[in-house]
Amino acid sequence: MSASPSAILRKWFERVWNAGDESVIDELYGPSAVAHGQPATPMPGPEGFKPLYRSFRAAFPNMRIEVTHSVCEGDLAVVHCRVTGTHAGDGLGVAATNRSVDFTGMTMARVGTDGRILEGWNSFDFLSMYQQLGIEPPKPV
């Protein structure tokens, strides 16, 4: 592995989310990778992840995710993040509120020897995000 799992996650948040470069999903997210926790159902492969990415980037075009802490052990890394942005689009299925959000979350990922994410587990405080926007969170399915 050329970079540590922690470095791969930092690159993921910087290039995919902060720089808005969707092509990096194909570069860093393995073809059979699975993300858990956002939303509740797993998102297999880059094509399974991209709808969530597009939805959030449309809702928060100025989204910024700051990695505040990271821990790495073997092929696993955990990062704690601070998410900020302005709800300026309807990517969440509701009209833009033009309100700012500031919430935290964590991602744990298993990274392969090729430097690609193989599996990820996410836990972000979306309830706080929805409260800051003044909207009801979607009902669980």
The pair of three-digit structure tokens given for residue 103, joined into one six-digit string: 């919430």
CA–CA distance, 35 with 21 (Å, rounded to integer): 19
Average pLDDT over residues 69-87: 97
Nearest of 5, 2, 27, 31 to residue 16 by alpha carbon:
27
CA–CA distance, 16 with 117 (Å, rounded to integer): 13
Instruction: Kindly report, residue by residue over 86-132, the tens digit of the pLDDT.
Output: 999 998 888 999 999 999 999 999 999 999 999 999 999 999 999 99
pLDDT of residue 27 exceeding 70, the answer is yes
Alpha helices, DSSP H, located in the chain: 5-11, 23-28, 45-59, 126-133
Strand pairing report for 64-73 and 43-44: unpaired
Q: Domain boundaries in the chain? A: 5-133
Answer yes or no: pTM beyond 0.85.
yes
State yes or no: cis peptide before 39, omega within 30 of 0.
yes
5-133 has CATH 3.20.20.70 classification: no
Strand pairing report for 29-36 and 43-44: antiparallel
CA–CA distance, 24 with 46 (Å, rounded to integer): 10
